[in-house]
Every structure is written in structure tokens, then in C-alpha cells.
Amino acid sequence: MSNDSTLASNYQETIESYRQLIGSTGEDLERPGLQDTPMRAAKAFAHLTQGYHQNLSDIVNDAVFPSSNRELVLVQNIEFYSLCEHHMLPFHGVAHIGYLPNGQVLGLSKFARIVDVFARRLQIQENLSEQVAQAIMDVTGCRGVAVVMDASHMCMMMRGVNKQHSTTRSTAMLGEYVHDNQARNEFLNALPTRQAAF
């Protein structure tokens, strides 16, 4: 079976799964507001998990360029949206990425695209930060990369403890950022002030 036909089959299964899920609430799937909801929900879910079907090299698309700059490059406030792998509820926030080039730099838009590749999967924020950092390290061959993510989690806000203003910060440090406190502090001090809520 081809990849396209596999995806089409999975899509139909997802639609049926949403029909069963909605039906389990006792709702009438034939009422006007819900007739197309399983299809719409399946499309939304496919979009939110499209990172599973994306290739990092295709996303980067050779946008790595020679540069003599060896100082900190900081790309900040990259919005991201993901789904918690524990409850499949959204978490969202911003990512800040700093790296120390080693003869080449990455096109700026690619940082956002890399974040999206990994965010559009079932995730936990701690792993997401590490995956983004490792991908940038692999793609650029940089001397070090640091990632900080600040996010609000619907699984804490909509259910459970119901804490509306809680946020989570996760960090990932690779290369020189692991042992060079001066480089680490330069990155952390350059970050924008953390928001109380998103």
C-alpha cells in the first residue's frame, strides 16, 4: 500500500474514531451542528500531528549558509502549539533559541519550522525542548545551542488542578552551553521577560 493510500485509510479511521468518541457522550451525530464534526476534527488532528510526516532535511531545504560570525545568534518569541501526550490537550507558548555558529548559520525562518516539526506531535514540553535543540545542533554543526520554552498547559488549566495562570519553563543546553557558564549566562540574560500567562 502506498504512503498516500495509507494516509487516506488512516484519515477515514480517524473520522470514524471521532464519530464513536462524540457518540459516546450521548450526542446525536445527525443534528446539524455535528454532522460534519468528525471530518473537521480529523482534519484538525491531522494538522496538529503533521510533524510525524515531515522530514527535517526537507524542512531545512539547504538553508545553511557560510558565516564568519561566532557570536550568539538569538531567535526569540517563536510561537508554538502542541498536544500533551498524556491527555491530548493543547499546550502552547513561545520558544527562544540561541546558538553559537561554527562557520555557518541557519536561515532564520527555519528555526520556526523546526519548532513546528516537533511541536506538531504528541509531546511533553521537556522532550520538545531537547528535540529542537538536537535538531539545530545536527543541522548547523554549531558549537552550542540553547533552547528555552515557556508554555501554558490546558491539562493544568481545564481539568485537574485548574490553575489558570501557571506556566512551565523548560530548557535544553548542548555543546558549549553545557560547561561554559559565561555563554550560558549571556543567553539567559538576553531572553525577554517571561510573561505571567499566555
Give the active site residues. 84-87, 125, 153, 155
Amino acid identity for residue 89 in this structure: L
* Phi and psi, residue 60, nearest 5°: -70, -40
What span, in angstroms and rounded, lies between the C-alpha atoms of 186 and 194? 16
β 73-84/122-123 pair status? parallel
